């Protein structure tokens, strides 16, 4: 009997020290450092959505922002007026288009406090499954050796439905997952967690489901070694992830019984944090509408576009070494690495300032003044810059008559139509040639341009003057032609029977002084330019678009048929015709 007591004590100690067998149906205890759900924070903003369609921007479907229908224009969808939206819960919904094979999808994103926000959303192209015509049991083969099986009488009268089921699988290790996954956050027990996904499954099924289907989902190769043996499954309902039990890991697959179509995710909860990125050039200008992508290792964990002030906000996993880069566009990633790979790492929720070199060939910057018709500064307004001919638009805020901003672009030279507005009265369009790696300065006004035209010139101090009006053209002709970097000027006092005028050509275009003349005609006679003496053309205003204006001066010497040299001086205000 004495031996039994020590043995019993030893047995109890062994049992107390040994670990119980893990129950894969019970999730791990949540980390202590959780993130509280932010309070309701309504903001007023114009939101523009850029919808990708298999790597190409397009107009494939209807897009709603917090339930409001948008208009498609200028490569993006927008309501064109400010909406009252929740700062941390802006919902984007894309309706399906069966003709293009696009499935219904969504994105839930946070917004900055700016009056203009920009959001990327990736359309999802589905794969059609065979139609079901009977109530027998069956199986659908999925990509990656996955499958979806169902028993007898799973669907109610499937044969009467004409459309086919469709599905898609989103790989968390793939490019653009950060703009395809509906949301990276999950609210559980009063806390907001980052939902790290190991795979997302979209199922569009037109039949009424009477029994559960068994999904065998293939885990992406890059995630198999870290995929947990048991993982929570989530269904995207009412713009949020709602937990629907757990899935078991069997080999390289997750197996889960599902009871309906929709968007499903296999994901685990980790601590999350909101982080604001402030993207600026080295000379202090905000970089607007830039695509920022955040990665953990090789996998995308978030992305956002900068707003009108150059800021972007993301919900990120905490306690990880994250890096970020700035993209030319999601399509451009197939052509090579992004132009700006930011070293990082960063792992705190403090605002992160990102400085891009103003001298980069990928940065186009512009700044200037914006004044009203009285000559005073516009206190609060917007400058709209429209890139030609694609009509891509950027918006820069005006404060106390000053504006400035920069864009990430692959175009070294691009023509922009720019106008200033005091948010009530838009000004006229001003065409400007913006060049990367240069300081582009464009001064704008809300006043409509004067329509008067003129050519004033003198030959050996003998003065000539031709006037006209772009609004009411008469017999005089005062025009400028832009063509592939060259400028042709044609001015006559009478289009039918001209007696006075100048015609000349220069290889210059845009504002500046150009030291070349390729052709010169004075009072309807072609002359030879004396290149041994001063000859120059200066453009002080150069609107490249049709209907704009060209202003400047000319000085040159030319020889007549007797080799007598004449001195020509001219100033002009012309209408841009081509």
Residue 310: inside a domain, yes or no? no
Asked if the model's pLDDT at residue 464 lies above 70, the reply is yes
E strand or H helix at 127: strand 127-128
Can you tell me whether residue 441 is helix, strand or coil? strand
SS (H, E, C) 69-116: ECEEECCEEECCCCEEEECCEEEEEECCECCCCEECEEEEECCCCCCE
Q: What is the pLDDT of residue 274?
A: 93
The better pLDDT of the pair 133, 221 is held by 221
Q: What is the pLDDT of residue 78?
A: 86
- pLDDT per position as a tens digit, 159-205: 677 678 999 999 999 999 999 999 999 999 989 999 999 999 999 99
In this structure, are 220 and 242 located in the same domain? yes
How many whole angstroms separate alpha carbon 356 and alpha carbon 306? 14
* Average pLDDT of span 128-148: 92
Does residue 440 contact residue 364 with C-beta atoms inside 8 Å?
yes
- The pLDDT-based confidence of 6 (bands split at 50, 70, 90) is very low
Which of 237, 270, 303 delimits the end of a domain? 270
Span of 292-301, 364-373, 411-420 with lowest mean pLDDT? 411-420
In this structure, are 385 and 265 located in the same domain? no
Residue 29: inside a domain, yes or no? no
Residue 52: inside a domain, yes or no? no
Which of 219, 235, 270 delimits the end of a domain? 270
Residue 40: inside a domain, yes or no? no
In this structure, are 266 and 133 located in the same domain? yes
Rounded to 5 degrees, φ, ψ at 441 are -120, 120
In this structure, are 470 and 546 located in the same domain? yes
Residue 409: inside a domain, yes or no? yes
Q: What is the pLDDT of residue 3?
A: 40
Q: What is the pLDDT of residue 211?
A: 94
How many whole angstroms separate alpha carbon 178 and alpha carbon 464? 66
Give me the CATH number covering residue 182.
Answer: 2.60.220.30
In order, the DSSP letters of 220-279 are PGGGTTT--SEEEEEEEETTEEEEEEEEEEETTEEEEEE-S-EEEEEEEEEEEEEEEEEE
Q: What is the pLDDT of residue 421?
A: 85
Bond into 69 cis (ω within 30): no
In this structure, are 429 and 459 located in the same domain? no
In this structure, are 427 and 470 located in the same domain? no
Residue 217: inside a domain, yes or no? yes
- The pLDDT-based confidence of 386 (bands split at 50, 70, 90) is confident
* Average pLDDT of span 113-136: 90
- Domain of 421, in residue numbers: 363-445
Does residue 167 contact residue 203 with C-beta atoms inside 8 Å?
yes
Residue 379: inside a domain, yes or no? yes
In this structure, are 414 and 468 located in the same domain? no
Asked if the model's pLDDT at residue 374 lies above 90, the reply is no
Span of 108-117, 320-329, 411-420 with lowest mean pLDDT? 411-420
Domain count, the chain: 3
Q: What is the pLDDT of residue 463?
A: 95
- pLDDT per position as a tens digit, 226-263: 999 999 999 999 999 999 999 999 999 999 999 999 99
Asked if the model's pLDDT at residue 547 lies above 80, the reply is no
Q: What is the pLDDT of residue 34?
A: 58
Q: What is the pLDDT of residue 573?
A: 94
Residue 144: inside a domain, yes or no? yes
Q: Minimal CA–CA distance to 482: which of 544, 532, 533, 429?
A: 544
How many whole angstroms separate alpha carbon 477 and alpha carbon 492? 5
In this structure, are 388 and 489 located in the same domain? no
Can you tell me whether residue 538 is helix, strand or coil? strand
- pLDDT per position as a tens digit, 472-527: 777 778 999 887 778 999 999 988 888 899 999 998 888 889 998 888 999 999 99
In this structure, are 425 and 476 located in the same domain? no
The better pLDDT of the pair 471, 204 is held by 204
- pLDDT per position as a tens digit, 87-105: 999 999 988 777 667 888 8
* Average pLDDT of span 334-351: 78
Which of 409, 429, 445 delimits the end of a domain? 445
Give me the CATH number covering residue 389.
Answer: 2.60.40.1120
In this structure, are 263 and 213 located in the same domain? yes
Q: What is the average pLDDT score of the chain?
A: 86
In this structure, are 490 and 541 located in the same domain? yes
Q: What is the pLDDT of residue 10?
A: 36
In this structure, are 400 and 509 located in the same domain? no
């Amino acid at each position: 009997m004495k031996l039994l007591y020590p043995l019993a004590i030893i047995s109890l100690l062994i049992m107390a020290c040994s670990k119980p067998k893990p129950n894969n149906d019970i999730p791990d205890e949540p980390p202590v450092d959780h993130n509280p759900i932010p309070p309701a924070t309504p903001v007023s903003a114009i939101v523009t959505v850029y919808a990708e369609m298999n790597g190409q921007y397009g107009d494939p479907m209807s897009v709603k922002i917090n339930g409001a229908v948008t208009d498609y224009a200028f490569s993006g969808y927008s309501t064109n007026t400010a909406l009252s939206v929740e700062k941390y819960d802006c919902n984007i919904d894309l309706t399906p288009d069966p003709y293009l094979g696009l499935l219904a999808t969504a994105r839930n994103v946070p917004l900055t406090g700016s009056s203009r926000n920009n959001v990327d959303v990736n359309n999802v192209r589905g794969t059609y499954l065979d139609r079901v015509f009977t109530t027998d049991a069956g199986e659908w083969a999925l990509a990656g050796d996955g499958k979806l099986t169902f028993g007898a009488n799973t669907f109610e009268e499937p044969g009467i439905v004409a459309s086919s089921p469709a599905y898609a699988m989103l790989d968390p290790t793939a490019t653009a997952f950060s703009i395809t996954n509906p949301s990276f956050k999950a609210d559980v027990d009063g806390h907001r967690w980052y939902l790290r996904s190991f795979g997302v499954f979209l199922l569009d099924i037109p039949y009424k489901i009477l029994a559960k289907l068994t999904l065998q989902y293939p885990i992406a190769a890059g995630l198999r070694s870290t995929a947990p043996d048991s993982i929570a499954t989530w269904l995207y309902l009412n713009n949020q992830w709602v937990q629907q039990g757990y899935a078991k890991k069997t080999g390289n697959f997750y197996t889960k019984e599902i009871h309906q179509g929709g968007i499903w995710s296999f994901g685990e909860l980790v601590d999350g944090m909101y982080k604001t990125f402030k993207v600026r050039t080295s000379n202090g200008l905000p970089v607007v509408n830039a695509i920022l992508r955040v990665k953990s290792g090789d996998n995308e964990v978030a992305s956002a576009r900068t707003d009108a002030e150059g800021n972007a906000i993301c919900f990120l996993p905490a306690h990880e070494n994250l890096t970020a880069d700035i993209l030319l566009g999601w399509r451009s990633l197939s052509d090579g690495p992004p132009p700006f790979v930011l070293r990082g790492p960063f792992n705190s929720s403090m605002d992160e300032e990102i400085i891009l070199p103003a001298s980069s060939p990928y940065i186009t910057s512009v700044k200037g003044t914006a004044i009203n018709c009285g000559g005073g500064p516009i206190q609060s307004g917007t400058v709209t810059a429209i890139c030609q001919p694609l009509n891509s638009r950027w918006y820069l805020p005006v404060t106390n008559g000053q504006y400035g901003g920069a864009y990430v672009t692959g175009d070294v030279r691009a023509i922009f139509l720019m106008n200033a507005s005091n948010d009530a009265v838009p000004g006229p369009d001003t065409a400007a040639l913006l060049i990367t790696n240069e300081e582009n300065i464009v001064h704008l006004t809300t006043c409509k341009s004067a329509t008067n035209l003129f050519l004033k010139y003198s030959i050996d101090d003998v003065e000539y003057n031709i006037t006209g009006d772009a609004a009411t053209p008469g017999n005089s002709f005062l025009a400028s032609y832009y063509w592939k970097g060259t400028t042709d000027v044609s001015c006559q006092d009478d289009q039918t029977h001209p007696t006075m005028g100048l015609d000349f050509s220069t290889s210059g275009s845009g504002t500046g002084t150009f030291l070349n003349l390729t052709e010169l005609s004075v009072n309807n006679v072609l002359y030879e330019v004396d290149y041994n003496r001063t000859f120059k053309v200066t453009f002080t205003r150069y609107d490249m678009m049709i209907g704009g204006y060209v202003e400047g001066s000319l000085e040159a010497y030319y020889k007549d048929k007797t080799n007598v040299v004449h001195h020509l001086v001219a100033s002009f205000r012309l209408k841009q015709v081509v």
